[in-house]
Amino acid sequence: MVLKIDNLKKYYEVAANALFGGGDKKVVKANETLSFEARESETLAIVGESGCGKSTFAKVLMGLETATEGSITLDGRDIGSIAIEDRDTMTVADIQMVFQNPFDTLNPSMTVGRQIMRALEIFKIGNNDAERRERMLVLLDLVKLPRAFADRMPRQLSGGQKQRVGIARAFAGDARIVVADEPVSALDVSVQAAVTDLLMEIQREHKTTLLFISHDLSIVRYLADRVMVMYLGHVVELGSTDQVFSPPYHPYTEALLSAVPIADTSVQKKHIVLEGDIPSAMNPPSGCPFQTRCGWKSKVAGGLCEKEVPPLRILAERPSDQMPPVRRRIGKHGTSHQNRGRITKRAPRHWGARITGKAKLSSPK
């Protein structure tokens, strides 16, 4: 196990009435109890609507923010409460990030080669500039950029090329974990697949743990080994990509999936509209965070959804001989979701043994 997150919380204090300068403080519960583990060389996708706390988690993991509560353990070392400036070189090199927008993350007045060599210097790699220069050129090869790009300024690069430099920097110090927060969404559609594939290729070669944050469920299906679904700072469910994306679905995952186009027209799909906005992280609902928008809530007896957070649905892994044929990582983007994503009327199972029998739980209309 490379990474273990235990009961992690990140609350932000904000002025309740900032506009008029005063009033009480309010608390934004950006991450509310995150607990999960990530393994060596796996790709764990983190999905969920805007504002559910994905980037907040990435910032806490990187040490750009410190956790309010809970722990982050990297290779057995507890790092959750250590800010990036207090982390040792190894920890900083071990957790790296590929940012959404390569335009903001490169220094505009430094050549591409210098920026990569600067990262190597920070990670204490190479004894002198000559050694670092050689390693930098190898990193350019790794991200499939011509070596002549070492002398270019960032403004002379396209968005996709800039993101390749960002990837080279992230892998410069042999990171254990790379967090990619929407790494291609700011890029032109024509280069998105190539940059994603490059990232996956390097991740596999280096056996890096990749935390891939994305809104794009069709890409997630194609590249992730496991998927973690988040809602309002909670982990809703966590399991292998095949399991999360096949029935019986979690009600929230089902709603997210229903918005994804499916290539195969023979698949019957019910379109579930997520009604209403995501509730405010300042004033989350009681019980299940999804209860204000869930189509299944009225079918659960005893108003349980309003009273208790349902148990986290962690899907046990199926033995490999029972797994459906692997469609991921073959062919082009998009082919993987054929024949998948059927939305059925099976009951949500995430309450487990608490709710049994058809009388208590049936499909919403």
Ligand X SMILES: Nc1ncnc2c1ncn2[C@@H]1O[C@H](COP(=O)(O)OP(=O)(O)OP(=O)(O)O)[C@@H](O)[C@H]1O
**Structure tokens, 312:** 């986290």
Name the residue among 64, 260, 7, 32 with its Cα closest to residue 181.
Answer: 64
Sheet strands (E) in the chain: 3-17, 22-38, 43-47, 69-74, 77-78, 95-98, 177-181, 209-213, 226-231, 234-240, 313-314
CB of 199 or CB of 300, closer to ligand SF4: 300
Contact partner, 167, from Mg ion, ligand X, ligand SF4, none, Cβ < 5-8 Å per class: none
From candidates 34, 45, 52, 55, binder to Mg ion by CB under 5 A: 55
The sheet with strand 3-17 has its strands ordered as 22-38, 3-17, 69-74, 77-78
Residues 326-355 that bind ligand SF4 (CB under 6 A): 348, 350
**Structure tokens, 45:** 């996708």
Residues 272-301 that bind ligand SF4 (CB under 6 A): 288, 290-291, 294, 296-297, 300
Report the amino acid identity of residue 321.
Answer: D
Identify whether 248 is preceded by a cis peptide bond (ω within 30 of 0). Answer: yes
Query: Shortest gap between Cβ of 249 and ligand SF4 (angstroms)?
Result: 10
Residues 309-348 that bind Mg ion (CB under 5 A): none
187 and 180 in contact (C-beta within 8 Å)?
Answer: no
Contact partner, 16, from ligand X, ligand SF4, Mg ion, none, Cβ < 5-8 Å per class: none
- How many Å apart are CA 139 and CA 88, to the nearest integer? 23
20 and 200 in contact (C-beta within 8 Å)?
Answer: no
Write each residue from 215 to 254 as x if it is in contact with ligand SF4 (CB under 6 A), else as -, in one continuous string: ------------------------------------xx--
Pairing type for strands 95-98 and 77-78 reads unpaired
CB of 215 or CB of 327, closer to ligand X: 215
Q: Is 152 helix (H, G, I), strand (E, B) or coil?
A: coil
CB of 2 or CB of 180, closer to Mg ion: 180
CB of 7 or CB of 156, closer to ligand X: 7
Name the residue among 176, 171, 11 with its Cα closest to residue 79.
Answer: 176
Query: Shortest gap between Cβ of 278 and ligand X (angstroms)?
Result: 8
Query: Shortest gap between Cβ of 102 and ligand SF4 (angstroms)?
Result: 37
Query: Shortest gap between Cβ of 133 and ligand X (angstroms)?
Result: 36
Query: Shortest gap between Cβ of 210 and ligand X (angstroms)?
Result: 17
Query: Shortest gap between Cβ of 51 and ligand X (angstroms)?
Result: 4
Residues near ligand X (CB under 6 A):
12, 14, 28, 30, 50-56, 281
> Which residues sit at the interface with Mg ion, rule CB under 5 A?
55
Where do contacts with ligand SF4 occur on this chain (CB under 6 A)?
251-252, 288, 290-291, 294, 296-297, 300, 305, 310, 348, 350
